[in-house]
Structure 1
């Protein structure tokens, strides 16, 4: 499924289901960011890859966000930012943060930017 255009090379960003470490997740990847296993069983970009934009749906697990949804990725690609809901360590505190594309890591949380208090998710 095509979600939008890559923020770096303008190619299509597609969604596909994969299994990583025994868990089924979604991978949002630029069509030009191709990876494969090399002879040492490392998962590396191919020689014909011209982009590196890739985001795994479980990218925010450490902040108790189980999945980065396709709709959130579509908003990120369209608006160059989106707002996500995160949770504290015990899962009781809820807070919102902006997320932007990041060339090396796929996405980055803007910790110093405050989301307006009247924002509704």
Structure 2
């Protein structure tokens, strides 16, 4: 399924269901971000890959955000940022932060910006 245009190269961003470490998640990736297996049986970007934009739906799990939905990814691609609800380690503290596309990590949290 096509979600929108890549913020870095203009290619289509696709949604793909995958299983990683026994967990079913979505992978949102640019059509120009091509991966292949290397000699160690790991997936790496190929030499012909023109873009590296990819986001795993559980990328914000560290801050107790279980998943980035397809709707959130569409909004991120259209508007350039989204607001997400994050939680502290114990799950008691709740706070809202902006998330933007990042060429190296896929998405980044803007920790210094306050959500109004």
Alpha-carbon separation, structure 1, partners of 2:49 and 2:10: 14
Aligned structure 1 segments of 4 or more residues deviating by more than 2 angstroms: none
TM-score by length of structure 1 reads 0.93
Q: Mark the runs of 5 or more structure 1 residues left unpaired by the alignment.
A: 117-121
TM-score by length of structure 2 reads 0.97
Deviation string 1:76-120 (CA, Å, 9 cap, x unpaired) is 10011111111111112211100011110000000000001xxxx
Q: Does 1:50 align with 2:35?
A: no
1:62 equivalent in structure 2: 62
What number of residue pairs does the alignment pair up? 116
2:110 equivalent in structure 1: 110
Q: Tell me, what secondary structure is at the counterpart of 1:89?
A: coil
Alpha-carbon separation, structure 2, partners of 1:96 and 1:30: 27
Alpha-carbon separation, structure 2, partners of 1:63 and 1:77: 22
Q: Tell me, what secondary structure is at the counterpart of 2:75?
A: helix
Deviation string 1:20-60 (CA, Å, 9 cap, x unpaired) is 11111000000000111112212100121100000000000
Alpha-carbon separation, structure 2, partners of 1:72 and 1:84: 9
1:119 equivalent in structure 2: none
Alpha-carbon separation, structure 2, partners of 1:7 and 1:21: 28
Q: Tell me, what secondary structure is at the counterpart of 2:72?
A: helix
